[in-house]
Chain A
């Protein structure tokens, strides 16, 4: 029997759970890059073009570290523009070639009419195990679905109540490990039940107190999902007494953009709804998650959330345009908003100060709205 092909892929939050599962089901030896550290971004930004956006630098760092671990094939998603993401794979290939690495690149792009080329590429990637493709994808997605559910519904919502001991975070890490190792659907549903029970017994749900504010995170998907890249904004907000939610997750993205090809139902997808909501301010989508950011701001105001925070990498083209119109949108729909721009620098103190002052303002606003005339006090934890 020939040795298994060693495949690797870039990190993005919890996406590795899905991709690792998928490729080991398809008969690859998965060499996941080590989780993102300061070293990853240092190596990435050393070789990447300097004005490239920060996700590319992380991706390149991931590739370099994975290739040093012995990976031979690189899997990467592609695109057809106008976002720069569509050329990540090919730019990385050029740069790695200059550095003397010669990995095999498998870049899967949206078919955009060329279905035969697309299917051949996918079938080659799957080693022509046609019957295995759909079940493996569904299995990988169901794993990620549970991870995202635990992260969004349990960890992000309950971190606000007991931040000092970081109990919520520890529990969450343990469950991610269990999901990663899980081998059957029954095990997954057991993990879900366990998680609910354990969270309920140790960290009860956050009550609707006046001083607990709801803030939604929106913006560029990589920065939104990768805790190292967004300087753990979820944890920092949670420690300030904020119930955090976010507008997109990798599961949602895969389900709405890829799995719709596998199922026949087509309910309105969240990004389509966002585009519809953004129409008064922006008529056409302009790439990336730009128009979604605007639409989600409108939706957050309709849901009655207290504030919205846009996160984006420095020099991200769609998000810059969105940032330009967001003050107008936020004023029209009446929701406070803040933009955070991230690059490879890691100065936590300045970030923390700005987060604190923003959250204090939002909390002040909320209390003043609920109890007019009441003197507000700095709060909590």
Chain B
């Protein structure tokens, strides 16, 4: 029985039910840190290099908060999760950067499908072997984990935010779906670790929903739509998250599904600098208004609030609402 710490940041937003169910089925206790707040960000930005982006600082802060409370920190290193795809360099190097700082052990099973197609299987086996000798138990745990992940994805596809979906999965409350009542629609384009983190996105999703807008996120699209949209690009984008964002933006724009787009980027994010250029071009062609928000560790809420309000009004006005 060990206590595993999963820092809430970066890839955790995509795979939390998978990691959690897998570790719990193997008899571990999973500790997840509380949602990001100001002191966590301060801790993280002091620990890690200044030039990196906000999500990395949050990840470092989360790991350092968990450091004393747990036996080990579980932080899989997803170098590549499909052929031709790779992760951002900062995320690939993150387990090593945190290992140099944390007192507890960092367990980082590496998945690199591009170099070795069997690496996922090996990562699952090796992680399981740390906790049990029973191969069958590992297999069952993995089956359960994949099932939990599929349920999670299905909830996300029904426009639930990860936080809500996790609560539903753990049985705390019944799912509350957000029906399409013909209201104005907005696409919130950005990394899921920015959009879902209440600190870095200033709770953008809830704010927009309170204004009566229907919010689309990249998480709500299935894998094959993303792939289909990406195939229209001359050069395939090779970053996992950027591919998802770009595919989603293209889909919402080309289908004319939305009345406006808000793109949320963290300052100094290298990958977004490239894809935002492509998304901006596409939105310009389709005459869809685009608001680009860049977030960092500052906490001035008023500026973001004003801009969102102005943008929402612009959308309504364009639609003849005001």
Chain A: residues with CB nearer than 8 A to chain B?
A: 49-53, 78, 80-84, 86-87, 89-91, 93-95, 98, 107, 112, 281-284, 286-288, 290, 314-318, 320-325, 328, 341
Which residue of the partner chain, among A80, A82, A87, A91, contacts B89 with CB atoms under 8 Å?
A82
A103 vs chain B, min Cβ distance (A): 15
Cβ of B259 within 8 Å of any chain A Cβ, yes or no, is no
Cβ-defined contact, B92 with A287, below 8 A: yes
A52 touches B86 (CB 8 A): no
Choice from A82, A86, A112 contacting B88 with Cβ under 8 Å: A82
Cα A284 to Cα B89 in complex, Å, equals 10
| Interface pick from B188-196, B217-225, B266-274, B311-319 | B266-274
Within 8 Å of chain A (Cβ to Cβ): is B310? no
Nearest neighbor of A105 in chain B, beta-carbon distance? B234
Please name all residues of chain A whose beta carbon is closer than 8 Å to the beta carbon of B268 when the two chains form the complex: 51, 315, 320
In the bound complex, what is the Cα–Cα distance between A272 and B110 (angstroms)?
A: 20
Decide: B277 and A290 in contact? CB cutoff 8 A. Answer: no
Inter-subunit contact B92/A82 (CB<8 Å):
yes
Within 8 Å CB of A89, what residues of B? 235
Q: List 8 A–B pairs whose Cβ atoms lie within 8 Å, in order of A's numbering.
A: A51-B270, A52-B273, A287-B92, A314-B51, A317-B89, A318-B89, A320-B52, A325-B93
Whether the pair B238, A286 counts as a contact (CB closer than 8 A) is: no
Selected from B49, B110, B277, the residue in CB contact (under 8 A) with A284 is B110
Query: What would 4 more interface pairs be, CB under 8 Å, given A81-B86, A286-B92?
Result: A51-B267, A90-B235, A283-B77, A324-B49
> Which chain B residues in 1-59 approach chain A with CB under 8 Å?
48-49, 51-52
C-beta contact mask, B227-252 vs A, less than 8 Å → 1, else 0?
A: 00000001101110000000000000
Which A residues touch B278, using CB under 8 A? Answer: 91, 94
B97 touches A (CB below 8 Å): yes
Complex Cα distance A335/B267, Å? 32
Min distance, Cβ B250 to any Cβ of chain A, angstroms: 14
B79 CB contact (under 8 Å) in A49, A284, A288, A341: A284
Task: Tally B residues with Cβ within 8 Å of A.
Answer: 38
Pick the residue among B100, B235, B269 that contacts A51 (CB under 8 A).
Answer: B269
- In the assembled complex, B147 has its CB within 8 A of some CB on chain A: no
In angstroms, Cα B98 to Cα A325, docked, is 10
Q: Are B89 and A288 in contact (CB under 8 A)?
A: yes
Q: Which residues of A are found within 8 Å of B100, using beta-carbon distances?
A: 281, 325, 328
Query: A83 to chain B: which residues have CB within 8 Å?
Result: 89
Q: Let me know if A49 and B90 touch, CB within 8 A.
A: no
Whether A320 pairs with B238 at a CB distance below 8 angstroms is no
B234 near A325: Cβ-Cβ < 8 Å: no
A321 near B93 (CB under 8 angstroms)? Answer: yes
CA distance A232 to B92 in the complex (A): 32
Given A80-B84, A317-B270, residue A86 in contact with residue B238 (CB < 8 A) = yes
A322 to B97, CA, bound (A): 9
For the complex, what is the distance from the CA of A111 to the CA of B139, rounded to whole Å? 36
Question: In the complex the two chains form, what is the Cα distance from A82 to B51 in whole Å?
Answer: 18
B127 within 8 A of A: no
Contact B273 A317 (CB under 8 A): no
Interface centre among B77, B93, B95 (most CB of A within 10 A): B93
* Residues on A with beta carbons closer than 8 Å to the beta carbon of B96: 281-283, 325
Q: A95-B277, A281-B100, A323-B51 are in contact. Are A287 and B110 (CB under 8 A)?
A: no
> Considering only CB atoms, which chain A residue lies closest to B284 in the complex?
A98
Query: Does B131 have its Cβ within 8 Å of any Cβ on chain A?
Result: no
A13 → chain B, closest Cβ, in Å?
23
Assembly CA distance A78 to B237 (angstroms): 12
Are B92 and A81 interface neighbours, CB within 8 A?
Answer: no
Complex-state Cα separation, A287 to B112, whole angstroms? 13
Residues of chain B within 8 A (CB-CB) of A282 are 93, 96
The interface residues of chain B lying within 8 Å CB-to-CB of A93 are: 234
Q: Report A-chain residues with C-beta under 8 Å of the C-beta of B276.
A: 49
In the complex, what's the smallest C-beta–C-beta distance from A324 to chain B, in angstroms? Answer: 4
Give the nearest-CB partner of A97 in chain B: B281
